[in-house]
């Protein structure tokens, strides 16, 4: 049964060959959505179940009508419920055990080759398609607002005004009151330091004046 008109799909292809001799492989590929059902309210349809497809005599994955490739639902169709899900893919080739992995398809892709998918994180069984070549650079974006000009830069006077406004503002948590009790004001501390320096100089001058003077000839 074909998909309803307007429903987006991604064509999934796959070609397998034997590692010894390179002959086309025989086998099946099973696609199972991890969600029990995918509802597309915008298209008035609900999809559920799995699909098993075979490889033709050239080792290519073919649809039930024999055409190369199988169309699958993307995992990010807008308005779908659930909004996020992935496909579980099971590949069974002749003389080989089943190989399972997970595949995420996007509506931005038109065709995906299973032979080119890669595992993003070895700790997770989650596969995504390999990104294609980088496209051309897009047009430039909208010009943002200009940065600050020298006239807008902070000035010392402006900074002092902000500090004064902050100091005069309310102190609901008592932070400034606590700091005032713990720390000596900077301006008063600088004044005190200057007074102490001057006092030490004066004491040194007085001590020098009162010190006894020894005669040059060594007599007392």
* φ and ψ at residue 87, rounded to 5 degrees: -95, 135
Please report the pLDDT score of residue 145 as a whole number: 76
109/13 Cα distance (integer angstroms) = 13
pTM recorded for the entire structure = 0.54
Taking alpha carbons only, the member of 127, 114, 111 closest to residue 55 is 114
CATH code, residues 10-128 = 2.60.40
Please report the pLDDT score of residue 162 as a whole number: 75
16/55 Cα distance (integer angstroms) = 8
Please report the pLDDT score of residue 112 as a whole number: 92
Q: What is the pLDDT of residues 131-146, one digit of tens each?
A: 445 667 778 877 777 6
| pLDDT digit string (tens) for the chain, length 220 residues | 578 889 999 999 999 998 888 899 999 999 999 999 999 999 999 999 999 999 999 999 999 999 999 999 999 999 999 988 999 999 998 877 788 888 999 999 999 998 887 553 444 544 454 444 566 777 887 777 766 556 566 677 777 777 777 767 777 777 767 666 666 666 666 677 777 777 777 777 777 777 665 555 555 5
Please report the pLDDT score of residue 220 as a whole number: 52
130/144 Cα distance (integer angstroms) = 34
Please report the pLDDT score of residue 153 as a whole number: 64
Determine the 3-state secondary structure of 71 from DSSP. strand
Please report the pLDDT score of residue 187 as a whole number: 65
């Amino acid at each position: 049964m074909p998909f309803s008109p307007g429903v987006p799909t991604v064509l999934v292809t796959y070609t397998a060959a034997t590692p010894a001799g390179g002959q086309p492989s025989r086998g099946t590929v099973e696609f199972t959505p991890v969600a029990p059902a995918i509802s597309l309210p915008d298209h008035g349809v609900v999809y559920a179940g799995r699909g098993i497809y075979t490889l033709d005599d050239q080792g290519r994955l073919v649809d039930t009508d024999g055409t190369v490739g199988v169309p699958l639902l993307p995992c990010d169709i807008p308005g779908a419920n659930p909004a996020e899900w992935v496909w579980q893919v099971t590949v069974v080739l002749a003389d080989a055990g089943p190989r399972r992995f997970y595949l995420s398809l996007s509506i931005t892709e038109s065709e995906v080759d299973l032979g080119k998918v890669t595992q993003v994180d070895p700790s997770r069984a989650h596969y995504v398609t390999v990104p294609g070549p980088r496209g051309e650079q897009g047009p430039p974006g909208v010009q943002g607002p200009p940065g600050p000009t020298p006239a807008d830069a902070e000035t010392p006077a402006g900074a002092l005004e902000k500090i004064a406004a902050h100091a005069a503002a309310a102190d609901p948590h008592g932070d400034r009151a606590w700091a005032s009790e713990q720390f000596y004001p900077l301006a008063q501390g600088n004044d005190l330091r200057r007074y102490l320096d001057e006092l030490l100089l004066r004491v040194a001058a007085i001590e020098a004046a009162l010190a006894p003077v020894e005669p040059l000839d060594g007599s007392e």
